[in-house]
Structure 1
Amino acid sequence: MEDKKTLVIGASTNRGRYSNIAINRLRSHDVPTVAIGLRGGEVSGVQIETEKVPFQDIGTVTLYIGPARQPQYYDYIISLKPQRVIFNPGTENPEFYKLLKENGIESEVACTLILLATDQY
């Protein structure tokens, strides 16, 4: 999994946001990271894109957007063929779990920050 990139969806330049903290922690763990957010910007050298860029070699997608905003990303995330999608606290979505499973993608209800802190990422 080390050579696989992580895509952070819901990225923010606001240092108080969990998505921002996650990007910083991913980078400090040398995890290749790309990001999409409502507004562009940069966090720890990671450019936040505002469009659904067709990234290659995404191993993990970590979500920081609530269930109401996720449907617009369903097809996009599935098209990236990640190995797993992490649903951080507040992003849980049984409808999306089912779609991911049907497409052979693992869904994990977890906290990216805790997974990194406990070497389970």
Structure 2
Amino acid sequence: MPHQGRGFSQYGVSGSPTKSKVTSCPGCRKPLPRCALCLMNMGTPVSSCPGSGKMDEKVDLTRDKKLAQFNNWFTWCHNCRHGGHAGHMLSWFRDHSECPVSACTCKCMQLDTTGNLVPSDSS
């Protein structure tokens, strides 16, 4: 049987085709959470998100591959339960201490005990 939808298959970090992307819970069919910043469902690789490409930079492919694996992890605040791709959340919290969801007033970064590890530009 020929592979249908070949142009739309998802690729993992290894570059090999993977099964179709799951966007809902197989048990209850509720949609999976979305990243608060790119609005893509959990399980969507960061490289598939709009504006995530690094076209002009030369990068070490081994290092980039390891970072890509971490950037795809999903993380969330245990207080407000908002979250997203780890790479997106790290980028957000470099400049902000509050939740990226506009109606949320949670100070997520101040609640994190490792929050002081993210470098800031204030001197």
CA radius of gyration, larger in: 2
With normalisation by structure 2, the TM-score equals 0.26
Give the number of the structure whose residues are more often helix, by fraction: 1
With normalisation by structure 1, the TM-score equals 0.26
Name the structure, 1 or 2, with higher relative contact order (CA <8 Å, separation 6+).
1
Give the number of the structure whose residues are more often strand, by fraction: 1
